[in-house]
Amino acid sequence: MAAAGMDDLSHLDERGRVRMVDVGGKDETERLARAEALVVMAQATLQLIADGAVPKGDVFATARLAGIMAAKRTHELIPLCHQLNLSAVHVEIEPEPELPGLRITTEAWLRGRTGVEMEALVAASVAALTVYDMCKAVDRGMEVRAVRLLAKSGGRSGTWRRPDTDETSEDRR
């Protein structure tokens, strides 16, 4: 992956100072981003989650809600992110017995002037951290891994898909 030069960094002005990008002149387009995070845990912890026996409650529902709420507040967490009027955010959590653990996949979309990659990534990250919080009493050795963008579409740069996945970037609304 090539490193960006100073001219490629849109959050720096001509003197190298941090700035918020002006998106006012950009066209509004449909923008979609998908991201994922993995939470690796002991097999016994995964079984507790599957059985609905985690002492703190429903891990899936709580992590989904946390991910959605976090996506809506991304601009408060990440400096220089624009506050976006999201159309929707989806958070899916699937057991992955071979990890063992959970795969969290998020999708954010809107019609707007800037992308939703950070919202999808923040949703995946916070959902994963919520799983950790819900289960830490039974498994402090859990790991959050592979928080990454899977695909994005819309805007001037068009469509991008992570090449090492089977990601199709199809709209799952």
Question: What is the count of structural domains for the chain?
Answer: 1
> 19 by DSSP, 3-state: which?
coil
The pLDDT value recorded for residue 165 is 81
Active-site annotation, residues: 133
In-domain check, residue 98: yes
The pLDDT value recorded for residue 157 is 85
- Nearest by Cα to 133 from 78, 76, 67, 72: 67
Give the CATH number of the domain where residue 58 resides: 3.30.70.640
The pLDDT value recorded for residue 29 is 87
- C-alpha separations of 52 from 40, 49, 102, 138, 157 in Å: 18, 5, 14, 14, 43
**Under a CB-based contact definition with an 8 Å cutoff, are residues 63 and 130 in contact?**
yes
In-domain check, residue 71: yes
In-domain check, residue 93: yes
In-domain check, residue 14: no
Domain region containing 87: 29-153
In this structure, the number of other CB atoms found within 10 A of the CB of residue 3 comes to: 5
pLDDT averaged over 10-residue windows placed end to end, the chain, 173 residues: 50 66 69 97 97 96 98 92 92 97 97 90 98 97 97 91 74 52
What is the β-pairing status of strands 160-161 and 101-112? unpaired
The pLDDT value recorded for residue 76 is 94
In-domain check, residue 13: no
